[in-house]
Structure 1
């Protein structure tokens, strides 16, 4: 979850920029993978933190959906929370802005027009993130928890799996960082891997992961039974796919688990687990990890299909050249 809409664009841009400076044949494939590497540190850090804490029991207080009757009530709810989100986003963007200003003062690399564009970009980013995070925080999180709880208590409990998969399939479209990754992949590979193909692949992967998360929340099966075989499969696949797909696959896992996942899918699983009397900490948490896992496998399967298609085209080309050679030899005789 640390690789979200603020960090992903800069991390990917840094990787692409370094690859452009290198300019060798492996530069394009090496430009991806930084997002995945940036996820390793937080995982280890939280596990080390867990070595120093042993809580006997965990409690969770469900966020209540605000009762609104008029548009004025809706505006009031958002107005109250907007300053808090604005402060958080400003604190996140401020170090990036300071680094940019210091870099420009020292190097004077950009023109006045480029500096204006940078300033406008920061303003757009600030306003967009404040509105986006405020919307998902106030609206999606409480609704997700209540939706999960109500469905879990109904006689149609099994419908949580297909409903969760449909939500996961379409929630990819709303993740801002995913669209950035898809466009960067298409640009770096000269549309050999199109943004549409990447998007469809990620949608299938996230849909599968949310279905598995719903099964976990309802049955209490340990996440180890999914995570360990899943990463083994991903590592095995990495031995057979083109190199460029490996970095893209591991990046896509970190990118897919963004703010939409944490503010809707996680509360959805929490609501299901709480309604069924399960252990929230072991049955609900982990949905983000599953969302980060399945795109690895989905993108690498796409890489296998790409390699098969490439070899078939190469074989057809060779066969065509062989036929032309035979015809020329016969004509010369």
Structure 2
């Protein structure tokens, strides 16, 4: 009975996460566009499936993966073995990211639009490996007590340098890949590992040393994916007509999901479930290996944990089906309808509203805000953090939409944005830096990412002279940069105000 109540609460949580999107899209459809989009029933069915899929997935995480993962983290922290902690950190980071729903969605879109030049599985493996490596590095940083400042400044200088040489086809995708690595699966696991370690080590501050793992997990994939793009697009030059053909294929696929034959549908469902099992298998393998081979203790409540693993697979499958039916078509439809109005102001307004509304409802942001308020002992307010981050996301997505409309190179926007971040990192109070970078990584939810990705692809496909592969990706990157800016500017302003008050008192 208790589990049913928890599931009901999770379902409501999932619905609240989707509600801002429904409200913003509904208001624009009724007040601005004044027409019903084609395929409305299919979209609504898809959105409903997304809600249930996310709820089942989250419930599975709570029943199966999170309790075992947290127990393992605590066990290794008590052991105090640095090699074991780093190996566990790498394995946990890799396994969580390879099964990240938002990364799966973005990688699949990239493979389709690039006509297979970008391999979805290779892309996910590269991102997951890089995240595993930086989680291991972050564990070492926490144990040694190093400040995050220099890690981030040096890292983003390298990011900007690689961006200068990277082909334009990969830049937006690389930054989007970094932005979606920290989401529904990774944030709770990685944040719990960092804060747990900092809390258990004498002389470590949870706010200064506990946060920052998520930030590192966002940064390094940007470098790795751009290096991958340099290799791919040097060896296999892109066909400029392939992207639009692939986009048409995506639309046909979405239209046909509801109407296959029963036999082919059942076979397809079985195949997709097997794919989901393959995606979640690394997490299960990591947990089982460390539990039985290293800790050498049986998993408590094994039946409950097994049910949780099964729910993760089923929920992930439902989520992917819902993407095809609901969120991708909604994003593309809104892009087409807004472009048809010939009034750019409505496009900018929609981008700002969807960014602000969805971020305010983001569960991971609410959780991080509460943790930060507790760790900061009153210096920060959770609600203030949410508003600042939502404003940053809204500004970022609006600026990203402007880039698509004007056709400007993403290189200059991204390099300029991170140059500003590097400067603010040097100026901001040290206590805010890890939190600010972590907040930049939790702004895009499992619901927001597919919609924003589809919006960017839809806009790029509707504007003459735009490449879907070059211009369609990148909105998530903008949504990750500007929350860092708004939070750091707020901290700098508050510090200066405090000094002024102290001087005049």
Is 2:215–2:437's contact at 8 Å kept on the other side of the alignment? yes
The offset of 1:83, in angstroms, is 5.8
In the alignment, which residue of structure 1 is the partner of 2:285?
98
Q: 1:260 aligns with which of 423, 447, 450?
A: 447
1:331 matched residue in structure 2 = none
SS in structure 2 of the partner of residue 256 of structure 1: coil
Q: Is the counterpart of residue 302 in structure 1 residue 486 in structure 2?
A: no
**Map of 2:61 onto structure 1:** none
Q: Return the alpha-carbon distance in structure 1 between the equivalents of residues 320 and 363 of structure 2.
A: 11
Q: TM-score, normalised to structure 1's length?
A: 0.79
Q: Which residue of 1 aligns with 2:471?
A: 283
Query: In 2, distance between residues paired with 1:178 and 1:107?
Result: 32
Matches of 1:251 and 1:129, distance apart in 2: 25
- The 5 A counterparts of 1:55-204 are 55-57=238-240, 58-60=242-244, 61-62=247-248, 63-64=250-251, 66=255, 86-105=273-292, 106-107=294-295, 112=300, 129-204=316-391
Render the CA deviation track for 1:222-241: whole Å, top value 9, x for unaligned.
Answer: 12332222112111111222
Q: In structure 1, how many angstroms separate the alpha carbons of the residues matched to 2:348 and 2:392?
A: 14
Does the 8 A contact of 2:360 with 2:387 survive in 1? no
- Matched residues in 2 for 1:178 and 1:87: separation? 32
Preserved CA contact (<8 Å) 1:183 1:195: yes
Aligned mates of 1:125, 1:193 — CA distance in 2: 34
How big is each residue's C-alpha offset from its partner over 1:105-134, in whole Å with a ceiling of 9 and x where there is no partner? 443679947x78866765665565554454
C-alpha distance in 2 between matches for 1:86 and 1:132: 11
1:216 maps to what in 2? Answer: 403
Deviates more, 1:52-61 or 1:148-157: 52-61
Say yes or no: does 1:11 pair with 2:190. yes
CA-based RMSD of the aligned residues comes to: 3.2
Q: Mind listing any 5+ residue stretches in structure 2 that lack a counterpart?
A: 1-179
Counterpart contact for 1:153–1:276, Cα < 8 Å: no
Distance 1:196 1:220, change over 3 A: same
* 1:86/1:187 CA distance change after superposition, 3 Å: farther
Residues 124-171 of structure 1: CA deviation (Å, up to 9, x unaligned):
655655544543443111110121022112232331001110011112
Distance in 1 between the 2:194 and 2:487 partners?
Answer: 19
Specify whether residues 184 and 230 from structure 1 end up closer, same or farther in structure 2 by C-alpha distance, changes over 3 A only.
same
Contact 1:153 1:275 in 2 (8 A): no
Does 2:229 align with 1:50?
Answer: yes
Please, what TM-score do these two structures have when normalized by structure 2?
A: 0.54
CA distance in structure 2 between the partners assigned to 1:150 and 1:287 by the alignment: 19
2:457 matched to which residue of 1? 270
Unaligned runs of 5+ in 1: 320-333
Deviations 1:176-211 (A, max 9, x none): 433343333234334532332221111101100111
Contact 1:3 1:258 in 2 (8 A): no
**Contact 1:216 1:284 (C-alpha < 8 Å) held by counterparts:** no
1:293 aligns with 2:481: yes
Superposed displacement of residue 55, structure 1:
1.5
Is 1:238 the counterpart of 2:425? The answer is: yes
- Tell me, in whole angstroms, the C-alpha distance in 1 between the residues paired with 2:314 and 2:289: 23
1:250 aligns with 2:433: no
Structure-2 change in CA distance of 1:55 and 1:229 (3 Å): same
Change (3 A) 1:248 1:120: farther
Q: CA deviation at 1:242?
A: 1.7
What residue in structure 2 maps to residue 330 of structure 1?
Answer: none
Structure 2 partner of 1:40: 219
Residue 312 to residue 170, structure 1, CA distance change in 2 (3 Å): same
Matches of 1:103 and 1:18, distance apart in 2: 18
CA radius of gyration, larger in: 1
| C-alpha contact (below 8 Å) 1:161/1:214 kept by paired residues | yes
Match of 2:412 in 1: 225
Does the 8 Å CA contact 2:207/2:372 hold for their aligned counterparts? no
Q: CA deviation at 1:218?
A: 1.2
Kept after mapping to 2: 8 A contact 1:209/1:290: yes
Question: In 2, distance between residues paired with 1:23 and 1:148?
Answer: 53
**SS of residue paired to 1:59:** helix
